């Protein structure tokens, strides 16, 4: 597409927006259409290297000019409550149109393909700088919002993780030079992965996560209530395996409830149990017991298996429980996307296509199960959305690749990631070294600048095998401790 065509398209876009009915011209729409213009007229790779510092030098300059003129056109100063409006007035859009016209006449053009796009992106950044903080509250009124692959969605911009700022943090990649012109700090266009899976921004638990927002230090417990695979009812045939959960659900349910209470007494606000840790009846028992516990964590996340019928598939889920709520509020956090393999056998489960991100003031929480973490498109999408707390219940012989993914999230969104893997031993007998073939029972990752930023437990040579119990990890102290069940 030629240079004049690009400018004509940009000016026509802004002119059309200014002609719309006032109630139809939302700031979100203005920014979305500018970003869609950048996608449609994406510059060729060679255009980025034609002049040193470009296009970012001009983008920064035009963004500042646009924000200044928007202030002047309304007489409203930056940060004023008057800017917190969902509607863009005609004079606002006209100001953007005038600036685009000036840039079209400018001799400071990088290449024909880049000139109009850099202006459109600068105008989008100016809008975002003025009203971007209103985009999430505007969508939050719906309680949940499904990301449209052909539309735009708010990004969950969160402050730094509380309690770990005693450590130097890594550098956020979004502040580095990049070629992504399809997102601003508060708004992004849909991507192909949003067609593969249904991503939902969920604010329904906003108030329930408030207690996590208020923490001065963040302590997590990963429970290890089973020792070997023999403690699970695993049914196989020629092609499939079904894990029906612990063989002795009543006994296990009582033990887990006791361990949850002990974990809370040890300072844990979040308690995580691995994939297949509970059956449906065990989950019901835990919910009932949660109301009577003397010490209750803010949140429990656990792998739960539901058998839909004899010989049929199972549902492999991660569920959330808020024991401090009056009736122990609970919800399905995630249903597995990708089935695993046990040798040559395929996991016989009903898979899902939905990924929910639970948002509060400080946290954007997502849960994935086991192999879901190895879907790179999914993880990158969570990073782009702004997820800063990822919890991964798993039951796996190997964890090294999943731990690497957790580190990617901590780097990409400066968030925390937690993996709970069970049972203690992968087989019928506990391993004397426990850490075999890159397998860990618990992994914790944080946005620490200095190593270690990913901590795996047990360490490579922990000594003789111990029994069941829990790992308690303090993200503030960056330290983990093992508590054997016999000592609880």
The answer to whether the CB of 340 falls within 8 A of the CB of 426 is no
Name residues whose C-beta falls within 8 Å of residue 198's C-beta, 6 or more positions apart in sequence: 146, 147, 353, 354, 355
**CA geometry: angle at 433 spanning 397 and 423, to 5°?**
40
Q: How far apart, in whole angstroms, are the C-alpha atoms of residue 364 and residue 157?
A: 9
Do 341 and 449 lie in one domain? The reply is: yes
Residue 193 lies in a domain: no
> Reading across the β-sheet that carries 240-246, which strands appear in turn?
232-236, 240-246, 345-347, 341-342
What is the distance of C-alpha 90 from the center of its chain?
36
Residue 450 lies in a domain: yes
* Domain end marker among 106, 123, 139: 139
Do 17 and 123 lie in one domain? The reply is: yes
CB atoms inside a 10 Å sphere around CB 38:
23
Residue 158 lies in a domain: no
Give me the half-sphere count of Cα atoms (radius 13 Å) on the Cβ side of residue 447: 27
Q: How far apart, in whole angstroms, are the C-alpha atoms of residue 463 and residue 465?
A: 7
In 3D space, the residue among 136, 170, 176 whose CA is nearest the CA of residue 156 turns out to be 136
Phi then psi dihedrals of residue 161, to 5 deg: -65, 125
- Structural domain for 319, as ranges: 210-487
What is the distance of C-alpha 86 from the center of its chain?
26
Give me the half-sphere count of Cα atoms (radius 13 Å) on the Cβ side of residue 102: 11
The answer to whether the CB of 349 falls within 8 A of the CB of 318 is no
Do 229 and 131 lie in one domain? The reply is: no
Name residues whose C-beta falls within 8 Å of residue 60's C-beta, 6 or more positions apart in sequence: 122
Do 121 and 265 lie in one domain? The reply is: no
Do 132 and 218 lie in one domain? The reply is: no
Tokens 């409830």 locate to 257
* Cα distance between the two ends of the chain: 70
Residue 433 lies in a domain: yes
Residue 29 lies in a domain: yes
* Domain end marker among 121, 139, 157: 139
Residue 204 lies in a domain: no
Q: What is the DSSP string of 242-303?
A: EEEEESSHHHHHHHHHHHHHHHHHTT-SEEE--TT-EEHHHHHHHHHHHTT-SS--SEEEEE
Tens digit of pLDDT for each residue in 117-165?
999 999 999 999 988 988 998 888 888 999 999 999 999 988 766 666 6
Burial class (CB in 10 A: 0-12, 13-18, 19+), 171: exposed
**Predicted local confidence at residue 367, as pLDDT:** 98
In 3D space, the residue among 19, 174, 1, 178 whose CA is nearest the CA of residue 94 turns out to be 19
What is the distance of C-alpha 204 from the center of its chain?
16
Do 215 and 351 lie in one domain? The reply is: yes
Cis ω on the peptide bond leading into residue 439 (within 30° of 0)?
no
Series of mean pLDDT values for 10-residue runs along the chain (488 residues):
72 85 76 95 75 81 91 64 63 88 73 83 93 88 91 89 66 59 94 94 88 86 94 92 95 95 95 98 93 89 89 90 79 94 91 95 95 95 95 94 91 92 79 60 90 82 66 92 81
Total tally of structural domains belonging to the chain: 2
How far, in Å, are 374, 375, 376, 426 from residue 200 at the CA level? 20, 17, 18, 34
In 3D space, the residue among 368, 287, 371 whose CA is nearest the CA of residue 335 turns out to be 368
Q: Which long-range contacts (CB under 8 A, 24 or more apart) does 336-341 make?
A: 336/369, 336/370, 336/371, 336/372, 337/197, 337/368, 337/369, 337/372, 337/375, 337/378, 338/370, 338/371, 338/372, 338/374, 338/375, 339/371, 340/370, 340/371, 340/396
The tokens describing 336, both together, are 């597995």
* Domain end marker among 139, 159, 180: 139
Going by DSSP bridges, is the β-strand pair 314-322/329-335 parallel, antiparallel, or unpaired?
A: antiparallel
Do 241 and 384 lie in one domain? The reply is: yes
The tokens describing 435, both together, are 């850490």
The answer to whether the CB of 394 falls within 8 A of the CB of 400 is no
Task: List the CATH number of the domain containing 404.
Answer: 3.60.110.10
Phi-psi region of 245 (alpha: psi -120 to 50; beta: other; left: phi over 0): left
Residue 55 lies in a domain: yes
**Predicted local confidence at residue 195, as pLDDT:** 93
How far, in Å, are 27, 146, 161 from residue 449 at the CA level? 37, 34, 14
Residue 191 lies in a domain: no
Do 99 and 228 lie in one domain? The reply is: no
Going by DSSP bridges, is the β-strand pair 278-279/270-272 parallel, antiparallel, or unpaired?
A: unpaired
**Predicted local confidence at residue 212, as pLDDT:** 85
């Amino acid at each position: 597409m030629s240079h004049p065509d690009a400018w004509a398209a940009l000016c026509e876009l802004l002119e059309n927006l200014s002609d719309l009915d006032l109630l139809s011209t939302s700031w979100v729409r203005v920014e979305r259409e500018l970003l869609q213009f950048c996608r449609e007229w994406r510059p060729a790779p060679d255009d980025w290297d034609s002049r040193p510092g470009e296009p970012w030098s001009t983008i920064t300059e035009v963004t500042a000019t646009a924000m200044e003129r928007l202030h002047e056109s309304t007489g409203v100063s930056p940060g004023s409550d008057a800017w917190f409006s969902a509607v863009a007035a005609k004079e606002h859009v006209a100001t953007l149109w005038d600036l685009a016209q000036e840039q079209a006449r400018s001799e400071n053009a990088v290449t024909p393909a880049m000139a109009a796009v850099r202006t459109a992106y600068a105008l989008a950044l100016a809008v975002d700088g003025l009203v971007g903080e209103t985009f999430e509250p505007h969508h939050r009124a719906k309680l949940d919002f499904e990301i449209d692959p052909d539309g735009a969605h708010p990004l969950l911009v969160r402050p730094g993780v509380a309690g770990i700022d005693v450590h130097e943090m890594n550098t956020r990649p979004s502040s580095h030079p990049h070629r992504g012109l399809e997102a601003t700090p508060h708004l992004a266009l849909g991507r192909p992965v949003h067609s593969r899976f249904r991503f939902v921004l969920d604010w329904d638990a906003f108030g329930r996560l408030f207690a996590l927002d208020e923490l001065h230090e963040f302590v997590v417990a990963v429970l290890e209530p089973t020792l070997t695979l023999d403690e699970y009812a695993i049914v196989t045939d020629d092609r499939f395996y079904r894990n029906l959960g612990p063989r002795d659900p009543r006994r296990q349910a009582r033990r887990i409830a006791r361990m949850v209470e002990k974990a809370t007494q040890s300072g844990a606000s979040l308690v995580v149990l691995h994939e297949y840790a509970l059956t449906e009846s065990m989950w019901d028992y835990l919910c009932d017991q949660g109301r009577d516990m003397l010490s209750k964590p803010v949140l429990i996340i656990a792998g739960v298996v539901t058998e839909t019928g004899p010989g049929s598939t199972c549902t492999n889920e991660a569920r959330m429980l808020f024991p401090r709520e009056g009736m122990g509020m609970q919800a399905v956090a995630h249903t597995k996307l990708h089935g695993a393999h046990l040798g040559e056998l395929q996991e016989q489960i009903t898979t899902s296509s939905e990924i929910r991100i639970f948002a509060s003031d400080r946290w954007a929480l997502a849960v994935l199960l086991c192999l879901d973490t190895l879907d790179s498109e999914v993880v990158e999408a969570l990073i782009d959305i702004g997820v800063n707390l990822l919890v991964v219940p798993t039951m796996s012989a190997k964890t090294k690749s999943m731990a690497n993914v957790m580190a990617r999230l901590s780097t990409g969104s400066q968030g925390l990631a937690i993996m709970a893997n069970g049972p203690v031993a992968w087989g019928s007998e506990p391993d004397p070294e426990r850490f075999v073939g890159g397998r860990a029972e618990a992994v914790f990752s944080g946005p620490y600048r200095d190593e270690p930023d990913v901590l795996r437990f047990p360490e490579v040579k922990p000594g003789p095998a111990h029994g069941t119990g829990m790992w308690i990890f303090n993200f503030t102290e960056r330290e983990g401790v093992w508590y054997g069940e016999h000592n609880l």
